């Protein structure tokens, strides 16, 4: 293990849980280059750990190990796979205190949000424990006499999972739970900012009894991420790639996968609209918007980015929202009084600051916030609301991924739909109204894969998750659809003699 001189002490209840080496074929290893990279606490800008800098040259061993393990794991009965996933789930829940501590120092999010992520993440292990035994084939009546047609479902093979830093435990478990339930093996590449949480999950998977090679983790730097990811996508033994991240990178990965015609799930950018009509319950809308926007400092793909408010309630809604926003307490995630932590990466500060300045230059008014915060040398920015927003501002077309939202006025339902859909992305949209007819029209007319109807929480293990347009394709979570992303459907046609 690497040694990093740091004033930060994680004080884990179970020190063995802390893992800072790559995990391949049941072994904790270093990169072939011998290089390592530092992990930084975004709340203090201090190094507190390091990990091996795995590179493209390390990919082949991991994929071959996963493929060898697949030849055995694919024969495990659904009940056995379900039992393993249930044990994994139990261990995750049993170590939630230490997992939450690691999450705070890797991502910067407040401790209460870290616990929330673990509960959300474990909902996938629990859900897919059941899905493992719900995999079913079908039979079809044939048009030709004496013929029977039926299908079976079989696991795809080795899966490459490329995971972001904003919800590192939830995102890896949403992918891994479905893959493991289906009988696939996995090579995961966590984000350079958050490798420790993924390695902790590998340790718990081992303790749950998963055979060596079934679950592998390759940490790497931002510099090595493109080449390592390309090597995974193009490896002939990798049969499926699942990625959560930006639209730009998703398109690059899709090109890598094209030559091998690999099955691909892409959960990409958001720039999600949030529409509030004048007949909405404003308290309900604000209470939904605050956590939707400012959870993890606005660093979520499904967060509200563009808030469209009907003109008759615009000022009232803005003032109510500002009042609640000013109650947010910014600080280090370990401080029990903190309700919003820092941004995870310093580049995020520059982006949100740039959007605020651009908004002001284009006639926008900063109702609250708008500034960087000098706290503990961390990456902090005030929760910010911009009024008098217009389509000419960068925030109207760029995904913010930070604690800044803009309020855009509108007059009619038709105008709101046009504005909400005026983006290349289509991950999630939100609508608040008490008119049932309008609600249903909005549900059908908003161009997104998920629609929140008087709700700001559109993600759950039992609910299909995924977008349309430039927000990707494929589904994660939900009954049948998610696990089918890791299965092939094989058709059998049998001709009988002596039968109708």
First to last CA, the chain: 68
Distances in Å between the Cα of 311 and the Cα atoms of 74, 231, 286, 293 are: 58, 52, 16, 21
| Catalytic residue selected from 117, 267, 399, 447 | 267
* Alpha carbon distance 233, 226 (integer Å): 10
* Alpha carbon distance 338, 341 (integer Å): 7
Q: Which residue(s) pair with 366 in the sheet?
A: 386
Q: Is 267 a catalytic residue?
A: yes
| Catalytic residue selected from 117, 301, 447, 485 | 301
* Alpha carbon distance 30, 257 (integer Å): 27
Q: Which residue(s) pair with 46 in the sheet?
A: 41
Residue 464, phi then psi, degrees to nearest 5 = -60, 130
* Alpha carbon distance 358, 340 (integer Å): 24
* Alpha carbon distance 197, 98 (integer Å): 10
* Alpha carbon distance 232, 253 (integer Å): 10
407 membership: H or E segment, kind and range: strand 404-410
Q: Is the dihedral of CA 464, 467, 468, 474 positive or negative?
A: negative
CA angle 17, 19, 20 (to 5 degrees): 160
Q: Which two tokens stand for residue 280?
A: 């909405």
Distances in Å between the Cα of 414 and the Cα atoms of 89, 444, 446, 456 are: 46, 13, 11, 22
* Cβ(48)–Cβ(5) below 8 Å: no
CB burial of residue 239 (10 Å; 0-12, 13-18, 19+): buried
* Alpha carbon distance 125, 310 (integer Å): 41
Distances in Å between the Cα of 219 and the Cα atoms of 2, 114, 169, 188, 301 are: 14, 21, 14, 8, 22
The catalytic residue positions are: 267, 301
């Amino acid at each position: 293990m690497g040694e990093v001189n740091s004033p930060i002490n994680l004080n884990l209840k179970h020190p063995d849980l802390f893992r800072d080496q790559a995990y391949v074929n049941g072994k904790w290893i270093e990169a072939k280059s011998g290089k390592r990279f530092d992990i930084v606490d975004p709340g203090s800008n201090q190094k507190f750990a390091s990990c091996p800098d795995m590179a493209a040259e390390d990919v082949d061993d991991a994929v071959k190990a996963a493929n060898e393990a697949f030849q055995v794991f694919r024969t495990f009965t659904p009940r056995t796979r379900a039992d393993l996933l249930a044990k994994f789930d139990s261990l995750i829940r049993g170590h939630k205190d230490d997992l939450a501590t690691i999450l705070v120092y890797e991502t910067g999010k407040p401790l209460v949000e870290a616990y929330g992520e673990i509960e959300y993440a474990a909902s996938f292990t629990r859900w897919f424990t059941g899905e493992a035994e719900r995999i079913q084939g079908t039979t079809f009546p044939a048009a030709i006499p004496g013929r029977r047609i039926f299908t079976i479902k079989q696991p795809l093979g080795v899966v490459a999972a490329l995971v972001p830093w904003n919800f590192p435990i939830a995102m890896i478990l949403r992918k891994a739970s479905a893959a493991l339930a289906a009988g696939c093996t996995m090579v995961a590449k966590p984000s350079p900012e958050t490798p420790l949480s993924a390695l902790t999950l590998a340790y718990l998977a081992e303790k749950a009894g998963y055979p060596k090679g079934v679950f592998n983790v390759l940490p790497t730097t931002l510099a090595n991420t493109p080449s390592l990811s390309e090597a995974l996508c193009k490896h002939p033994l990798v049969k499926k790639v699942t990625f959560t991240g930006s639209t730009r990178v998703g398109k690059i990965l899709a090109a890598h996968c094209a030559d091998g015609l690999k099955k691909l799930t892409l959960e990409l950018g958001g720039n999600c609209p949030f529409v509030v009509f004048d007949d909405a319950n404003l308290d309900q809308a604000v209470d939904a918007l605050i956590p939707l926007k400012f959870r993890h400092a606005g660093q979520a793909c499904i967060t509200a980015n563009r808030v469209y408010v009907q003109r008759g309630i615009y000022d009232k809604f803005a003032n109510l929202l500002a009042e609640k926003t000013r109650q947010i307490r910014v600080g280090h995630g370990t401080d029990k009084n903190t309700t919003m932590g820092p941004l995870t990466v310093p580049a995020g500060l520059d982006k949100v600051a740039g959007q605020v300045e651009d908004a002001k230059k284009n006639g926008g008014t900063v109702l609250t916030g708008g500034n960087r915060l000098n706290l503990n040398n961390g990456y902090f920015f005030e929760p910010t609301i911009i009024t008098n927003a217009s389509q000419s501002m960068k925030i109207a077309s760029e995904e913010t991924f930070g604690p800044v939202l803009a309020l855009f006025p509108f007059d009619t339902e038709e105008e709101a739909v046009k504005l909400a859909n005026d983006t290349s992305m289509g991950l999630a949209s939100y609508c608040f109204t008490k008119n049932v007819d309008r609600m249903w029209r909005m549900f059908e007319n908003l161009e997104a894969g998920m629609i929140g109807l008087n709700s700001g929480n559109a993600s759950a293990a039992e609910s299909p998750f995924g977008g349309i347009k430039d927000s990707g394709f494929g589904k994660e979570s939900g009954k049948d659809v998610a696990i089918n992303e890791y299965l092939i459907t094989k058709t059998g046609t049998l001709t009988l003699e002596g039968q109708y």
